[in-house]
Chains A and B, each alone.
Chain A
Amino acid sequence: MALSSNGIDFHTHPLLVREMIARHPELAKAARQTFYIGNNFQPQETLHLELDVAGLGHAVVLPIDATTALGTTVYTNEQIAELCAMSSRLIGFASVDPRQPGAPEKLEAAVKKLGLRGLKLAPAMQRFWPDDPSAFELYDRASQLGIPILFHAGMSWEPGSRLEYGQPLRFEKVAAEFPKLNIVLAHLAWPWVTEAVAMALKYPNVCLDTSALYFDNPEDFLRYAMTHVVPLSVFERSLRKQIVFGSNYPRVEIKNMARAVRALGFSEECLELIMHGNAQRLLGAGK
């Protein structure tokens, strides 16, 4: 599928989609009791309208397989594929549990049979260390498949999750051992933004997504993280090809995070890369 030029949200969780909850009632429990989101459930149209209001064309939709840690999934790969079949604007990622046997094979099936285009891993929720060698076979398979891995990094809101799983340096071995594997550290890995930036500066296969909001509002928070903690010029000059727009919807509305990123003061060229070009490259143009 060739992607249009009007922007991609690289980080959304389709937890509110009412049509999917009607088909799979367990998704309501996953939204409330595993992901801890209290928003009202919405028709799928609302997600499309969110993208419209934000001036974006597509959204990556993410599952989380936390079978070992929590005995549940937040969307299965099959459910993500089912959702994507309902909308040409959604780009499905897979999730597998690195602690479950057969994880690499499950990932390969999700990519080759279900058409999913990346891997989502959430070490804090799945309770595994990103640099644990037992996960390396999975990383190797992702590298062979030519898909990116979006890692939750930094702080996690979910009760029971631990911050330490999201420390950026925990991802260094992954970046170093698999130089052809594109990895995205989500949420700017806040509160370790400087360390996350160091990772991206050192490893060209490391990207960061913008889906960071932990206090204040999106504009104030991003200005703090991407201007005061690390100067905006570092992102503009050194990392313009390694930043992707992500909202973390529905914890934050897409419109609000898009407005905040656009207000930071990036050049038009850099904004185009952040909102569109970098994500398209990671996803594989023309696939």
Chain B
Amino acid sequence: MIFKLERIEVQSRKDMEMINITPQVERVTAESGVRNGLVLVMTTHTSSGLLVTEGIECLERDVLAHLERLAPKNPPPGTYGYWHNRYLDFDGRLGFNAGDHLKSILSGVNCFFPIENGKIVRGSRQCVYFVEYDGPLARTVVVQVIGES
């Protein structure tokens, strides 16, 4: 049984952004030597997401726009406020990004795929996206490959 874990650094360049990391996940899988098993992908950050969808720019816009609508950075005046808008002494800063944490919860932070004959089993339209909700930042994504050679 092979267990291989690799940390990938993803540099986001915008406030909110979808970054297709399918090639990196496939590379780690190929280099693991696993022929049959599973690959797990997880973002280690709570204001980012990890999701699977079709890899086209129009959908990327829709995903980001509707997550922002559901969990806005600044709620419309007079509606509600975030409890998270306060000083966090353990961080030395204010935590006014509750909307970005909520987006992370809505989108999820991980995904997995089967591996068959050394290749990821995924639909022809399926891509793995790291989703930045509070960038730009250098982020860490963990890829864990488990299986038999």
What residues of chain A have their CB less than 8 Å away from a CB belonging to chain B? 18, 35-40, 42-43, 45-46, 49-50, 52-53, 157, 213-220, 250-253, 255-256
Q: Whose C-beta in chain A lies nearest to the C-beta of B96?
A: A217
What are 15 A-B contacts with C-beta separation under 8 Å?
Answer: A36-B89, A37-B92, A39-B92, A40-B137, A45-B138, A46-B138, A49-B11, A52-B13, A52-B136, A53-B15, A53-B136, A215-B85, A216-B85, A219-B74, A253-B134
Residues from chain B with Cβ under 8 Å of A42 in the complex: 137-138
Contact B93 A251 (CB under 8 A): yes
Residue contact A157 to B96, C-beta cutoff 8 Å: no
New A-B pairs, 10, CB < 8 Å, besides A42-B137, A217-B82, A253-B134: A18-B138, A36-B89, A36-B92, A38-B91, A39-B91, A39-B93, A45-B138, A214-B94, A219-B74, A220-B85
Chain B residue nearest to A218 (CB atoms) is: B96
Beyond A45-B11, A157-B87, A217-B74, whether A252 also contacts B93 by CB under 8 A is yes
- Contacts A214-B87, A215-B87 known; A53 to B137 CB distance under 8 Å? no
Alpha-carbon distance between A18 and B9 when the two chains are bound, in angstroms: 13
Is B90 in contact with chain A by the CB < 8 A criterion? yes
Nearest neighbor of A219 in chain B, beta-carbon distance: B74
* B14 nearest CB neighbor, chain A only: A53
Bound-state Cα–Cα, A46 to B135, Å: 9
Cβ–Cβ < 8 Å partners of B125 in chain A = none
Chain A interface mostly: loop
Distance of A50 from chain B, by nearest CB (Å)? 6
- State whether B137 touches A217 (Cβ < 8 A): no
Please name the 9 residue pairs, one residue from A and one from B, whose CB atoms are nearest each other, closest first.
Answer: A49-B136, A217-B96, A38-B91, A36-B92, A37-B92, A251-B93, A216-B85, A42-B138, A217-B85
Interface centre among A39, A46, A218 (most CB of B within 10 A): A46
Is B27 interfacial (CB 8 A cutoff)? no
Chain B, range 72-90, C-beta contacts under 8 Å to A: 74, 81-82, 85-90
Residues of A within 8 A of B14 (CB): 53
Indicate with 1 or 0, residue by residue over B90-130, a CB within 8 angstroms of chain A CB atoms. Answer: 11111010000000000000000000000000000000000
Complex CA–CA separation, A279 to B86 (angstroms): 30
Identify A251's interface contact among B13, B74, B94, B135, CB under 8 A: B94
Nearest A residue (CB) for B44? A40
A219, B94: Cα distance in complex, Å? 13
Report the separation of the CA atoms of residues A53 and B94 in the bound assembly, to the nearest whole angstrom.
20
Cα(A202)–Cα(B138), bound, Å: 45
Q: Assign chain B's interface to a size class.
A: 20 to 34
Contact B87 A46 (CB under 8 A): no
Given contacts A50-B136, A157-B87, A214-B87, contact A43 B11 (CB under 8 A): yes
Taken together as a complex, chains A and B put the C-alpha atoms of A104 and B74 apart, in Å, by 46
Interface membership of chain B positions 1-41, coded 1 if the CB is closer than 8 angstroms to chain A and 0 otherwise = 00000000001011100000000000000000000000000
Quote the shortest CB–CB distance from B12 to chain A (angstroms): 8
- Bound-complex Cα distance A217 to B81 (A): 10
Are the C-beta atoms of A217 and B94 separated by less than 8 Å? yes
Cβ of A218: which chain B residues have Cβ within 8 Å of it? 96
CA distance A42 to B45 in the complex (A): 14
In the complex, chain A residues whose CB is within 8 Å of the CB of B15: 53, 255
Cβ distance B103 to chain A, nearest Cβ, rounded Å: 16
Q: Which of A43, A45, A46, A213 contacts B94 (CB 8 A)?
A: A213
Give the chain A neighbours of B88 by CB distance below 8 A: 38
Q: How far is the CB of A276 from chain B (nearest CB, A)?
A: 21
Name the distance in Å between A185's Cβ and chain B's nearest Cβ: 21
Q: Please indicate the chain B residues that have their CB under 8 angstroms from the CB of A46 in the complex.
A: 11, 136-138
Contact B91 A216 (CB under 8 A): no
A134 to B56, CA, bound (A): 65
Given contact pairs A53-B14, A216-B96, A217-B96, A37 touches B91 in the complex (Cβ within 8 A): yes
In the complex, A38 Cα to B93 Cα: how many Å?
8
Closest Cβ of chain B to A222, distance in Å, is: 12
Closest beta carbon of chain B to A281's beta carbon, Å = 30
B13 touches A49 (CB 8 A): yes
